[in-house]
Amino acid sequence: RGAVVCTFCSGGKYSGEGASVCLDCGQGTYSNPGSTSCDTCEHTQGFVAKGNGNNECVYCGPGEHADLPTHECKPCIHGKYSVGGVNECLDCESGKFNLNDGASSCSPCEPGSVPNEGIGATGCTQCTAGKYAAFGAAACSDCNGEGQYSSSVGAAACSTATVGKKP
């Protein structure tokens, strides 16, 4: 009678029932030691399995997202950010922007300016004369109170005309 031989495979490899050889897990998959098959990382947000023969999924950290088709951690593009552990980067919120790829957060514009594209903005634009923006504002506002004006570009607040003078 023939002897039954069991094959114990290390992590990143698998062996089907009755097989006597261990095979590498393919790209985008991983296995634990002793596995009879490989699994994908797609069930966990923000993790990928790079290359072949993986024994674990790799975490995509802040400023990155898991690109499932390529099985790689890729940097977020400007106007987007991630705190890590995501499959897609988020747009910068209204009133915030970022200029760099791989950002883990977005920043508010300086007083007198607003994000140039709204959601997902990549820079700031100064308010025109007659308008103003406080720190972190999403849009420039008109100086429309009685006696209020703004004669300069990039005003952080409106000025008030002195009594007897027109703005």
> What confidence score (pLDDT) does residue 5 get?
61
In the predicted structure, residue 165 carries a pLDDT above the cut 60: no
Alpha carbon distance 153, 167 (integer Å): 16
Q: How far is CA 63 from CA 54, 83, 84, 143, 165, in A?
A: 23, 6, 6, 38, 52
> What confidence score (pLDDT) does residue 154 get?
93
In the predicted structure, residue 8 carries a pLDDT above the cut 90: no
Alpha carbon distance 75, 135 (integer Å): 28
Q: Where is average pLDDT lowest: 15-24, 25-34, 83-92?
A: 15-24
Determine the Cα angle at 46 with ends 44 and 90, to 5°: 125
Mean of the per-residue pLDDT values of the chain: 88
Q: Is the dihedral of CA 155, 156, 162, 163 positive or negative?
A: positive
Q: How far is CA 21 from CA 8, 150, 166, in A?
A: 9, 78, 90
Residue-wise pLDDT for 79-108, tens only, equals 999 999 999 999 998 888 888 999 999 999
Residues of the chain with pLDDT > 70, as a percent, come to: 93
Rg (Cα) of the chain, in Å, rounded?
28
- Going by their DSSP bridges, the two strands 131-132 and 124-126 should be labelled as unpaired
In the predicted structure, residue 136 carries a pLDDT above the cut 80: yes
Give yes or no for a contact between 153 and 128, defined as CB atoms under 8 angstroms apart. Answer: yes
